[in-house]
Amino acid sequence: GKFEESYSNFESFAHSKVFGNTLNIALDVGPITLSSISAVIDHSISRQEDVDSGAIGRVEVHNDVETNQKSQEFRVATNGKNKPFNFVGGLFLFDEENSGHVARSILTVGNGTPPVGLNSLIFSQKTKITSAYGQFDVKLSDQFSLVAGVRYSDESKRGSARSYRRTGAGAGAWTSFAPTNGTHLEAASLVALSNPAQNSGDVPFGKSWSNW
């Protein structure tokens, strides 16, 4: 074969859109400064490619990703570094939403025809973080100072996933399949489907933790 040549049966493309902005407001009120930092970012990507590089459409992958993030921080801090006592403290809030749809054609070993199977996953995930922190330093002398701080953080994740697998007779009818949204997810959180005919399943997942 001509191994120096690559082939593509489906139209290959990768479209990515990113929007982000940050608003930083600081108010000097004499001995301290009050600050507010707001940020938002939206990212979406749509990708399709023929991954087997063969002349026959055997293994095609479709990915669509959409991620939305928002964060807000409130902070108070003393002005100046040469004072006998300085401190900084604040509150941080973070929210993220992921939704996705990923799919790939299933390769049938020894079959020279186009793919006769489909693996598809639709899922959504939400992440929330709340964190509070504080730090102070006391100047004891020109050579010594005392610095101490504390931080508390709470993070939670919630989501669900639905997996679909179709192989065998009739699976080839999925010729007009067009996914709409996707992102990555740990395989351990998903359902494993091995029935060669047809299967689908829903899997809820979630976890939360706090730390000092």
**Which domains does the chain possess?**
13-211 (2.40.170.20)
Between 116 and 76, the more confident residue is 76
CB 122 within 8 A of CB 100: yes
- pTM of the shown model: 0.66
For 165, the token pair is 């697998």
Of 130, 136, 135, 189, the closest CA to residue 162 belongs to: 189
State pLDDT tens for residues 32-78: 999 999 999 999 988 877 666 555 555 577 788 899 999 999 999 99
153-172 per-residue burial string, b: 16 or more CB within 10 A, e: under 16 = eeeebebebbbbbbbeeebb
**Mean pLDDT score of the chain:** 72
Lowest pLDDT segment from 60-74, 82-96, 158-172: 158-172
Lowest pLDDT segment from 24-28, 33-37, 132-136, 193-197: 193-197
Residues in the chain: 212
Q: What is the pLDDT of residue 27?
A: 95
Q: What is the pLDDT of residue 190?
A: 30
Max avg pLDDT among 10-19, 33-42, 107-116, 118-127: 33-42
Lowest pLDDT segment from 15-29, 126-140, 180-194: 180-194
Q: What is the pLDDT of residue 207?
A: 44
Residue 183 has pLDDT above 70, yes or no: no
- Spatial neighbors of 139 by CB under 8 A, at least 6 apart, are 83, 84, 85, 145
Residue 24 has pLDDT above 90, yes or no: yes
Mean pLDDT within 185-191: 31
- The one-letter code for the residue type at 66 is E
